[in-house]
Structure 1
Amino acid sequence: MNDVASPDANIRLGMFEAACDILAAAVIVYDKNDCLVFASRQVLRYFPIPADTLKAGTRLRDVLGAIFDSGVRYGIPADQRHKAVNREEWISTRISAHWREQHDAVERLGRDRWIHFRKRRLPSGYNVTTLVDVSEQKKQEEQWRSDLERIALTEEILETLPSPVVIKDRNFTYIAANRAFCAIYNANADGILGRSVWDLADAENAERIERSDRTVLETGEPYSVPEHVIRADGSDLYAITRKYRIGAPGHHAIVTVMEDVTALVAGNRAMSDDGDVLLSVPGGFVEAQNCFDPVRDAERRLLLEQLNGEELRALAGRRALIATPNPRIEEILVGEFRARGADCCAVRSVHEHDAFLALAARQGISIALVVIDDNLPDHERILSNEHGIATRVIAPDGIGPDFMRTLAEEHELLSQNASPLGDILTPVSLSDDWYIATDISVMLPGAVGDIEVLVAEDNQINQFVFSQILEGMGISHRIAENGEEAVMLWRKHQPRLVLMDISMPVMNGIDAAMEIREAEKLTGTHTPIVAVTAQALNVDMQNCMEAGMDDYITKPVSPDMIEAIYRRYAAKQPEKSVA
């Protein structure tokens, strides 16, 4: 009988040790009697114990005793580490874990060292234990957790600051906006993040704001300007706006902080309670973003005037239902009722109204008020409901996409003193942008053919691109934000060429082109209309051609593309005359 290990066994053992070195892992194998069969030399990197402790045949209890005597204490809960540990209790606890079928744990061996223990009990009774140093990974996890906590704290501070704060990336896209900034626009963060200032401000202010952003981004020099902003609710905001560049090169961001000094401003100076000048503003405040929408405010006032003021105030903490087919009325009234503390929702048909009240009755939910739009089909049937709920009928004629046109037409029929609209509108002149001519044959000669290109585009960034290209070519142009406005401006200006986006709100480009072609049947004229599409799908092209359009181009547009279209359809056209 030969007890000497074979050369193959030595080779396999050497390869196993090499594999442990490569994997940076230690391996220990015990037999079913808890006697040591194999321990790789990497074990000594984890436990400062005598090397002869790891000889084959050593009992598990003796190995654990040597580890305890070396001062290593693993497997102890964090809240127990400051207490004295009994040697026998610790060894017994480790043996109990050793006899589990599977045991996984990340244990702390020192202040900055973490070891991942994996134990597996095989069907033969053998136990295989691996030890891997995961200190770096653990440090990264702790740093990551600390960073997340710091970010969450920073976001909470940012959100609760009374001053409006907004952060833009190097592409001038909003990546953070606190509650105070969102309140200026009466919007939530989702409506602002991912957008640019061109989506929030008019072109003049957007250009001014982006120019200062670019200067701060390129130079790193802080920027400050006193601004006067009209909030979405119509109130004034006087602020000292400051901009800073933060971040590492290649990852810079722009932080804008608006210090609200509205309560202190008197003229162009900030005053203390005793009249002392706290802040002088040479040149006054710059007129900045006008977030106030006079049309929406007029709609809101006209709706609320039809409701009882005391009844509205009494709705706080109660429930109300709006029945209207008009999404604009729904948005305004639901928002106003909720702002007064009421729980409010809307239905858009008599069927939905009946189903809602029936469900509320079954659930024992009380409704304090139902507001009914008299434009709701068959609304008379629900005026006298059987639920004993107070009902109010409103007559919101004209509210919606045509509201501004309705106001203008009514205003033209009334003298300024007799107008019930007060200061909502100013008198309309023929040179004003809101002049509407519904009959080309009676338009003033000066109002015909006074621009070369009309662009119908609802996206403000694309509007800016078109303007830059056309201005660079020296071509006079106007921008329409939707199909309805495009038809109005076409009637007024009779351009040589129309660039028509086919996807727009209020009225899409297809319908706008069809309306222009119908009007041209009375005048005997033909204005080239070129569709502007996001992608050249066959069905879109067919719809454009059927609507009477002459050609199409796809986004993104380029100067060469616009110049080619202009030369093809407008450059050689003679001046038009009205038939």
Structure 2
Amino acid sequence: MSEKVSFFNLSIYKILRKEQPFLDQARIRLLYYGFFLIFVALGALYLSVYFQNQTMLANTSLVLMGSVVVLFKYLTWRPHWQGVSHALLIVGTLVNTSLVYISIQTVNIITVQVIIIVIVFSFYMLGQSWGLIYSLLNTVPVLVFMIIEFNNGYVIGIKPNKIDQSTIIISLFANFILLIFIHSHFYTAFLKNIKHLKDSSEEQNRLYNKMEAAIEKAEKSALAKSEFLSTMSHEIRTPLNAVIGMSNLLMMGSPRPDQKENLEILKFSANNLLAIVNDVLDFSKIESGKVVFENIKFNLVELMNNICGGQILKAEEKGLLFKLDVDSSLRSKVLFGDPTRITQIIFNLVSNAIKFTERGNIWVRVTCVEDRHNTVTVNFSVRDTGIGIENDSLASIFEPFTQESLATTRKYGGTGLGLAIVKRLLELQGLQMTVNSTRGYGSEFLFNMEFPVSTEPMPEPVAAVPANDPSADGGLSGLRVLIAEDNMVNVMLMKKLLGKWNITPTIAENGERAVEFMQYGNFDIILMDLQMPVMNGFDASKEIRKMADPRKSQIPIIALTASALFDIKDQVYEAGMNDYVSKPFKPDDLLEKLHAHAPGKMA
């Protein structure tokens, strides 16, 4: 009940609740109005037997009338219809048995009607189990009485009351009214319940249709979002590619000290912008469930050195002491896992540690906590002496677009996506992050990760020629390169960059022209932009793969893409391309791809 009902309440409307099922409301109404009918019937019986001087029947009628009044009052005060139903059935069972064995000492039509009423009432009110129990409690004693009377005759020391015809008529009439009322009431309730179920089913169907429409709309929205991100990514990364690329080229040209400082600022700002774009795209990819984890061989020690190599320089620029400590037992092990995602996780944690530490130390520890020969469990720890985190803010720092406070965001900047990406990547692998932090003293982020161990040794790494060495051509001098690119700024950038390696490329302004160049010319490798007018890079690659000359159809094709589509890698390979480089790219990355796919020119 939402509010307590007064003891003096007599209204049914105060004991009914809207949230109650139809059948429960029907049971309460049956009791409420049924008590009136029973009381009137018992009153008529009492008058009939009283004027006939049938004392036991008159007293029984009075007891029943008193019971009805008490139960009615209790129902209107505390509407526990189950308890009231049990009490009424127990009283009815006792009265029925006493009538048969004591008051009238026989089984007649009134007794049978009372048993029928008890059976019907118990099943409707309390269900199958209790209905069966009360049916047996009323029928078995009567059957036993009939057997005793048939075999030996039933005789006790109490004179039975005789019921005249008027009492029988009143009883039969009252019993019929009660039976009709019970059946009619529950028939109506059942019809209402069936209608309610039908309406609920129709409403559920409507809601299901709405849900399907909403899901379809959400899927279209997600697709539109994905395409929008891809387009925006392409539009943002394309000029960024030119800014970062030109900065790299100018840095490779031995600039004056004042020029070098300006270029460093330009390159730093462009890289910061690129990091923000990448964070948003990475988080979108993770949230959409499009992340697929690789399971490839790698050396964890080398990976950690590569991740922390650039970060050590950043820490030293701030005057911080950076220490990387990798368990020596991991040096000789080749593990299976996803080095790209590990890089993403550690890079974000270390970047945060450096960002929020003004003075002191940064520790990165990698410890083998369990070695089972075929698998190892590794603990990663990133600790700093930075600003620390308040205890009540520990949960919120892992929420997307959130930092500990507005003051933190204003002072240190950033998107607030770094830790959210770390948390999501760990959760997708069934892992949890532990954070220990004290405000003003620093923070420590820890997690464990299990890796299968390879039984094969890792091949020795091949030393690459530094791309920022202006005197080095990387062993690619004279390489015949076809570049399919429609953006003139990127064309100029590629010409200047390849010129540093003594390569003079051929430029095709779209995919169709690239196919034509391949038909009439000879090249060693193709750098293929994906989004171009007339014919895009995918279709152009497919056309090239169909050429009859195997030297042309099997030419290495490297995709150049600024797209953020989640399945861009799969699309590149499905189109027949050999590899891809994401814009904006580092000269080292492109040089590495050229070495990998044009090995004949390296001799």
Calculate the TM-score normalised by the size of structure 1: 0.25
Q: For the pair shown, which has the larger CA radius of gyration, 1 or 2? A: 2
More helix per residue: 2
More strand per residue: 1
* Bigger RCO of structures 1 and 2 (CA < 8 A, at least 6 apart): 2
